Amino acid sequence: TVSRPVYSVLSSGLETDRTGSRNNEQTAPLAAESFWDVAHRAGLRIRVSSHLPWWPQLFPHGFDESRHLKNHVENVFASTREEDARFDIDLFHPLYVDEMGHHHGGLSPQYDAAVARADSEIAGLLDRLDLEHTNVILTADHGHRDAGGHGGEQKELREVLACFSGPNIRPAQGKAAFDGRLTAPLMSLLAHVAFPANLRAGEDHLDDLWALVKID
């Protein structure tokens, strides 16, 4: 439940001992292949918008455009339909919820306000998307303790919300667990590109994706 290693897990489908990403201080590119690398090599145009510069550090060959918004009052989801149309895939990554969790804890009014802000900004993104033609994944790298901080193995740190919507997502039959390691191969299926090279067909349970995805 440390951010940069979990970005690597979500992007490659590999656990941290298989990616080599162990902490937030490492700035070298990830050695393992990521979904972003595969999709970009396949000719898809990808944009990342984040309050951190870590994504292009980890995946220097994965993005056509990288927007690093240093001022955290800026809305990373802000764009126009015309700008959106230039890209096949967008990665949006706000940081302020994490900041409030660190500084004030998961039960604080500051954390509640940050979550409400995220709800509002994500709603603005969804308003300009056509979900009959666009697949959307919403998730997080980790949770926070009530008193603040993360990095351990507690349930509230390891289990986060994951939401999926779009034309290739099967209707949900109630709430279900989703293994975050399947995020990269899920994106690969939705984008019609190959799985990242280091994934294992059997041991990584890739067949579980067919309960979530429908491809015509």
Antiparallel, parallel or unpaired: β 136-138 and 163-165: antiparallel
Separation of alpha carbons 92 and 84, rounded Å = 12
State the sign of the Cα–Cα–Cα–Cα dihedral 47, 55, 120, 153.
Answer: positive
Tokens of 80: 């126009």
- Provide the 10 A C-beta neighbour count for residue 172: 11
Per-residue pLDDT for the chain (216 aa), expressed as one digit of tens each?
A: 788 999 999 999 999 889 989 898 989 999 999 999 999 999 999 999 999 999 999 999 999 999 999 999 999 999 999 999 999 999 999 999 999 988 998 899 999 999 999 999 999 999 999 999 999 999 998 888 887 766 677 888 888 999 999 999 998 877 888 999 999 999 999 999 999 999 887 788 888 899 899 987
Q: What is the full DSSP assignment across 161-198?
A: --EEESTTBPPP-S-----GGGHHHHHHHHHT-PPPTT
Residue with tokens 């993360």: 150
Structural contact between residues 212 and 196, judged by C-beta atoms closer than 8 angstroms:
no
Amino acid identity for residue 173 in this structure: Q
